Amino acid sequence: MSEIHVGPGEDLQPVFDSTEAGSVIHIAAGMYRQKLVVRTPGLRLVGEGADRTVLIYDDYALKLDEQGREYNTFRTWTLAVCADGTSMRGLSIVNDALDPAVKGQEVALSVYGNDFYMEDCTLRSTQDTLFLGPLPDDLIVRYDGFLPDELRQARPLRQSFSHCRIEGSVDFIFGCGETLFDQCEIVSVFDGRSVGFVAAPAHELRQNEGFLFRRCRFSAGENVADGTVFLARPWRDYGLCRFEDCVCAPHIAKAGFDPWRDSGRDRSARFYETPAVPGRVSWVR
């Protein structure tokens, strides 16, 4: 294991690629406008604070690539983690494309590695800020030949976030990961639309663990009206999401949860909230 120090403005991708597994990479304060992938196992990325070390890019789903194809949600990341055992502390990851109603989804961080850990970091975008792999089974098949194999692995993945700030507007925490959010601040931001959704779980029925929000605080940015944001809606039939001892500001709708339009997923989604909150939908447990 080695310790690497990266100076302001340095190209991070060669550092990620050439550093031996298990190394610590210290990233100096600064704004790094780069699209990045971590493929080396066990790297520890350490910034100088979430307000000082910022990894930022601006891809979006409706952008066209060199072949004239739309990027699609799953190619818009600022940083994609494709290696196991990655950890991060003291930095921000941002997608600043903005205007998702026109541009489509805008991912800041995608995690396709197992045993991922993030502490004291900020994730910032609008729609689809944080993707937690793996992909749903049907998308693994659908995107064969479109997404690289490293993004299409069908295996259980565990991730953990502690004391982080995650900002977004619609479905901004989504995927099939078995993921713990411990004492995080989950911030809904205004993107010009009248309704928002925090989590969009897509877990398969065989998964017994999903998203767990424990002692988290759900707050709102400027211009987010009271009662206009739902804690979760099921992206796939058996999406699994638990909320334990969380605190919600008035922007969270009294019903709490949405069935994803007329999908009928209220009959199969696995949503839990403890302690129970009066006025929630009848199908939350």
Alpha helices in the chain (DSSP H): 12-18, 100-103, 137-142
CA-CA distance, 97 to 103, in Å (whole number)?
A: 8
Residue 71 maps to a domain: yes
Per-residue pLDDT, 73: 98
Residue 146 maps to a domain: yes
Structural domain total, the chain = 1
CA-CA distance, 120 to 275, in Å (whole number)?
A: 26
Per-residue pLDDT, 9: 86
Residue 126 maps to a domain: yes
| Structural domain for 65, as ranges | 3-274
Residue 280 maps to a domain: no
What CATH number corresponds to the domain at position 42? 2.160.20.10
CA-CA distance, 262 to 117, in Å (whole number)?
A: 36
Residue 194 maps to a domain: yes
CA-CA distance, 258 to 65, in Å (whole number)?
A: 34
Residue 98 maps to a domain: yes
Q: For residue 14, is it left (φ>0), alpha (ψ between -120 and 50) or beta?
A: alpha
Which residues are CB-contacts of 169 (< 8 A; sequence separation ≥ 6)?
100, 126, 127, 188, 189, 190, 191, 193, 196
Residue 282 maps to a domain: no
CA-CA distance, 109 to 123, in Å (whole number)?
A: 7
Residue 247 maps to a domain: yes
Phi, psi of 151 (to 5 degrees): -100, 0
String of DSSP letters for 38-80: E-STT-EEE-S-TTTEEEEE---TT-B-TTS-B--GGG--SEE
pTM summary value: 0.97
Which residue stretches of the chain have pLDDT < 50?
A: none
Question: Over the stretch 39-97, which tens digit does the pLDDT of each residue have?
Answer: 999 999 999 999 999 999 999 999 999 999 999 999 999 999 999 999 999 999 999 99
